[in-house]
Amino acid sequence: MFRTTLKQIWNQRRQNGWIFFELLFVGIFLWIVLDPLCVQIANKSIDRGYEQNGMYVLQLEKYSFSSPKYSAEMENDSLVKLQYLDIIREMRNIPEIECFAVAYGSAYANSGSFSGGELFADTALSKRTHLQFYHFVPVEGSDILKTYRLKDVNSGVTMTIAPDFASRNLIYLSENSAKMLYGRTDVVGEKCYNYKKEVQEIAGVFKDFKDRDYNQPYPTIFSSADFCKEIEGNFFMHLAYTFTFRVKDDVNRATFEKRFENEIKPKLERGNFYCLGIQRFDVVAQNMAELFGELNSTRRNTIFAIFGLMCVFLGMVGTFWVRANARRQEIGVMRSIGASKWRITSQFLTESAILVSVAVILSTIIMAHYVYTNNFFANVNMLSKDMLNPEYWQNNPITHFSVISIIVYLVLLVTSLIGTLIPVSRATRELPAEALHDE
Amino acid sequence: MTIIKLTGIDKIYRTKEIETQALENVNLEVGKGEFLSIMGPSGCGKSTLLNIIGLLDSPTNGTIEMNGKLIDAKMSDKALAKFRNETLGFVFQSFHLIPSLNVIDNVQLPLIYRGVSHKESVERAKAVLERVGLSHRLHHMPSQLSGGQCQRVAIARAIIGQPEIILTDEPTGNLDSKMGAEVMDILHELNQKDGCTIVMVTHNEEQARQTSRIARFFDGRQVC
């Protein structure tokens, strides 16, 4: 039967030729349209490495010079520091808050701030990597690891900052940072050097951490540099030191937010500081995606993909539908000489599948050349290609190419099978005599 | 021995506006090895009757028995297909060859549906094509053949599965007299040598007279 089907396809090569070229074009079109969206979805679906739910950032502001509430007397570095620490204490004592972190330089997830630097394994001449630095300030019980609920890469247990973290100049590395520096993750106790050639000891390795929701995890280090071991009072300290916190799991977030707005926020006024409110981490992430154009890019790619898929679906279903309908009489003949409905349907489905398969093979070869010369769609912010984690399919050229090609193949296959199945099923359902008179 | 028995066959075509009775209370028996001609003016229901005998159409009322077996409307599609494949052979006025398959592939189809091996079906197709005088046209496409040749291919396709009954609907209707005669010779040979039961719808009085019996129809009723 398969041999006869192949012969029929070949003998109808003129009619099938047009469908074949249509499929070829559509295959290339789908490849180009689906690739960016698939990569964006894949990047976004990578685990953040921390629990975003329940996390907030405190929004502090200062009265401007022209404000009647502004007090020049309060603008003294020591006083400002005390006021800020007082706000931290006020926040820390809120019963709904489980833990908090004070970080330097807007170092919190999706803040948009990026503090990059290099780290060397053992000596300055050894293997090095570029990392994002999360400098945090270990004051008043601030614990960034606990607040983000970062998990130890080996045990999976939620990590906490060591009490002597600042004095021993300890650091915590993300899994990808450790792998890049040492090729392994069991590196607790290893020494490494920062750009000032200072020795730093690794106190823990946490699972890969996504600073931005839509990106792949960047190698990250949590450290407490000299300049942020203690809080320094200055005019801009509310911008320099960010207060993030996590509410307890059993706290109703809507109720807490309402209480914060009505009861807590007014109490956070110290000197020239006042509180604007709190912002959920998921809202921060959304704002970030919006501000950096990622939301628009995703929307654009989604719309292109939906539009493309709709066009392809309607066009290809129509093409195969017409092809199958034009052969209703043939279906009648086949039934008259003893072909069952299923035999006829399976023959038509096989024909469609063969046409699609051959066209996709050719379009895949064309796309292989295209990506070889133009590269894949990339949506990563790594400094170099060797920083890309090969475990993610979108970073491995062979896997990436295979995944998109398979998706394109499946879309076209399903489309052509639907376009064939419906008219052929209808044609086989009617009496053969009716089909034979359909001239 | 009766091989086809039709009892009380009615066929009514219904549309929203109109109801047309194509066949009315047809009772017909065809003996094994008989060559029956069905004659009548256009629109009298000859082809409809042939389609009903060939299980290509279903009667509104009445029963069909073949080889003593009642053909039930509840028979599964697979069983009906098997019955058509093994017991019946069709030869249509307009040949109904599959245009995208060459002669030998067209002829092989009933055996392919039966699950016969490729090698055997090719051998049997060659044999039947030689019998109908087309062994030199095995790889021609239907579009490259004359009407008479197409009809001989259709006959070859109808007999390759060695069916007991051959149903033909005006097999010479689209052929000139010479080719028509050739086709009739083949049908007579099949009837006489192979013992095939043949039911032929025809307008041709002369061809009908050559057969063993004539059933005449008028306005959906059998008149003799």
| Residue numbers in B near A432 (CB within 8 A) | 51, 56-57
The DSSP call for residue A261 is: I
| Residue numbers in A near B94 (CB within 8 A) | 439
Pick from B15, B53, B113 the residue to mutate for testing the A interface (most A CBs within 10 Å): B113
Q: Which residue has the higher pLDDT, B204 or A48?
A: A48
Cβ distance A329 to B57 less than 8 Å, yes or no, reads no
Cβ distance B108 to A4 less than 8 Å, yes or no, reads yes
Cβ distance B110 to A337 less than 8 Å, yes or no, reads yes
Cβ distance B90 to A343 less than 8 Å, yes or no, reads no
Q: Which residue has the higher pLDDT, A152 or A326?
A: A152
Mean pLDDT across the stretch B18-41?
Answer: 88
CA distance B122 to chain A (A): 12
Chain A residue with CA closest to B158: the answer is: A337
The pair of structure tokens assigned to A140 is: 């008043």
**What does the CA dihedral B23, B24, B25, B28 come to, rounded to 10 degrees?**
-30
Is it the case that residue B55 has pLDDT exceeding 90?
A: no
Contact present, A116 and A132 (Cβ < 8 Å): yes
Res A227: pLDDT: 65
The pair of structure tokens assigned to A190 is: 């290893």
Chain A residue with CA closest to B106: the answer is: A4
Is it the case that residue A243 has pLDDT exceeding 90?
A: yes
Res A436: pLDDT: 76
Res A438: pLDDT: 52
Contact present, B35 and B190 (Cβ < 8 Å): no
Pick from A336, A342, A346 the residue to mutate for testing the B interface (most B CBs within 10 Å): A336
Nearest Cα neighbor of A239 from A435, A391, A102, A434 is A102
Inform me whether the C-beta atom of residue A2 falls under 8 Å from chain B C-beta atoms: no
Q: Where are the beta strands (DSSP E) in B58-203?
A: 61-66, 69-71, 88-91, 165-169, 197-201
Inform me whether the C-beta atom of residue A167 falls under 8 Å from chain B C-beta atoms: no
Q: Which residue ranges make up each domain of chain A?
A: 2-47+293-438, 71-271
Most confident segment among A36-40, A291-295, B13-17: A36-40
Res A244: pLDDT: 94
> How far is Cα A185 from Cα A172, in angstroms, rounded to an integer?
12
Res A295: pLDDT: 86
Is it the case that residue A396 has pLDDT exceeding 80?
A: yes
Rg of chain A over CA atoms, in angstroms? 31
Contact present, A368 and A376 (Cβ < 8 Å): no
Pairing of strands B2-14, B69-71: unpaired
Chain B residue with CA closest to A12: the answer is: B100
Torsion angles phi and psi, residue B117, rounded to 5 = -65, 155
Mean predicted lDDT score pLDDT of chain A: 88
Rg of chain B over CA atoms, in angstroms? 17
| Strand partners for B137 | none
Sign of CA dihedral A293, A295, A297, A300: negative
Res A128: pLDDT: 80
Chain B residue with CA closest to A2: the answer is: B112
The pair of structure tokens assigned to B60 is: 């509104």
The pair of structure tokens assigned to A413 is: 């296959």
| Residue numbers in A near B112 (CB within 8 A) | 1, 4
DSSP A76-119: -HHHHHHHHHHHHHHHHT-TTEEEEEEEESS-STTSS---EEEE
Q: How far is residue A116 from each of residues A124, A194, A383, A390, B183, measured CA to CA in Å? A: 17, 12, 10, 22, 91
Is it the case that residue A209 has pLDDT exceeding 90?
A: yes
> How far is Cα B56 from Cα B58, in angstroms, rounded to an integer?
7
Res A379: pLDDT: 66
Nearest to B82 among A338, A433, A434 (CB): A338
| Strand partners for A120 | A128, A193
With tokens 């279906």, the residue in question is A331
Q: Which residues contact A368 (CB under 8 A, 6 or more apart)?
A: A401
> How far is Cα A383 from Cα A160, in angstroms, rounded to an integer?
30
The string of pLDDT tens digits covering residues A331-388 is 988 988 888 889 999 999 999 999 999 999 999 999 999 888 887 777 677 777 778 8
Mean predicted lDDT score pLDDT of chain B: 87
Most confident segment among A126-130, A256-260, B25-29: A256-260
Res A175: pLDDT: 94
Inform me whether the C-beta atom of residue A336 falls under 8 Å from chain B C-beta atoms: yes
Res B212: pLDDT: 87
Give the pLDDT band of residue A99 (cuts 50, 70, 90). Answer: very high
**Which residue type is seen at B4?**
I
The string of pLDDT tens digits covering residues A35-46 is 999 999 999 999
**Residue B127, SS3?**
helix
| Residue numbers in A near B113 (CB within 8 A) | 334, 337-340, 343
Cβ distance B85 to A338 less than 8 Å, yes or no, reads yes
Contact present, B61 and B8 (Cβ < 8 Å): yes
Res A366: pLDDT: 92
Buried b vs exposed e over A161-173: b needs ≥16 C-beta within 10 Å? beeebbeebbbbb
**Residue A436, SS3?**
helix
The string of pLDDT tens digits covering residues A295-347 is 888 899 999 999 989 998 898 888 888 888 888 888 988 988 888 889 999 99
Is it the case that residue A276 has pLDDT exceeding 80?
A: yes
Nearest to A431 among B56, B94, B98 (CB): B56
Res B93: pLDDT: 82
CB pairs under 8 A between A and B: 84
- For helices A397-429 and A341-374, give the axis angle rounded to 10 degrees: 150
Is it the case that residue B143 has pLDDT exceeding 70?
A: yes
Res A372: pLDDT: 87
Pairing of strands A191-193, A199-206: antiparallel
Q: How far is residue A122 from each of residues A158, A178, A207, A390, B44, measured CA to CA in Å? A: 27, 12, 22, 25, 101
C-alpha of B179 from chain center: 18
Is it the case that residue B179 has pLDDT exceeding 60?
A: yes
> How far is Cα A355 from Cα A23, in angstroms, rounded to an integer?
8
Res A439: pLDDT: 46
> How far is Cα B104 from Cα B157, in angstroms, rounded to an integer?
9
Q: Which residue has the higher pLDDT, A88 or B2?
A: A88
Mean pLDDT across the stretch B190-209?
Answer: 88
- Contacting A with CB below 8 Å, chain B residues are 48, 51, 54, 56-58, 77-78, 81-82, 84-86, 90, 92, 94, 96-102, 105, 108-110, 112-114, 118, 141, 157-158, 161
Torsion angles phi and psi, residue A152, rounded to 5 = -65, 130
Most confident segment among A124-138, A148-162, B199-213: A148-162
Is it the case that residue A228 has pLDDT exceeding 70?
A: no
Inform me whether the C-beta atom of residue A254 falls under 8 Å from chain B C-beta atoms: no
The pair of structure tokens assigned to A193 is: 């050097």
Mean pLDDT across the stretch B202-207?
Answer: 87
Nearest Cα neighbor of A142 from A84, A204, A213 is A84
| Residue numbers in B near A8 (CB within 8 A) | 98, 100-101
Share of chain A above pLDDT 70, in %: 97
Cβ distance B84 to A4 less than 8 Å, yes or no, reads no
Is it the case that residue A126 has pLDDT exceeding 70?
A: no
Regarding pTM above 0.90, the answer is no
Chain A residue with CA closest to B110: the answer is: A337
Mean pLDDT across the stretch B115-128?
Answer: 91
> How far is Cα A358 from Cα B25, in angstroms, rounded to an integer?
55
Per DSSP, helices labelled H in B12-59 are 46-53
Cβ distance B81 to A335 less than 8 Å, yes or no, reads yes
Sign of CA dihedral B66, B67, B72, B73: negative
Using alpha carbons only, give the angle B123, B125, B126 rounded to the nearest 5 degrees: 65
Using alpha carbons only, give the angle A280, A281, A283 rounded to the nearest 5 degrees: 70
Cβ distance B81 to A8 less than 8 Å, yes or no, reads no
Share of chain B above pLDDT 90, in %: 18
Long-range contacts of B125-132 (CB under 8 A, 24+ apart): B125/B156, B125/B160, B128/B156, B128/B159, B128/B160, B129/B103, B129/B104, B129/B153, B129/B156, B131/B156, B131/B159, B132/B156, B132/B186
The string of pLDDT tens digits covering residues B70-99 is 887 678 888 888 888 988 998 888 888 998
The string of pLDDT tens digits covering residues A20-33 is 999 999 999 999 99
Inform me whether the C-beta atom of residue A388 falls under 8 Å from chain B C-beta atoms: no
Cβ distance B101 to A4 less than 8 Å, yes or no, reads yes
Chain B residue with CA closest to A13: the answer is: B100
With tokens 């896997």, the residue in question is A399
| Residue numbers in A near B144 (CB within 8 A) | none
Give the pLDDT band of residue A138 (cuts 50, 70, 90). Answer: confident
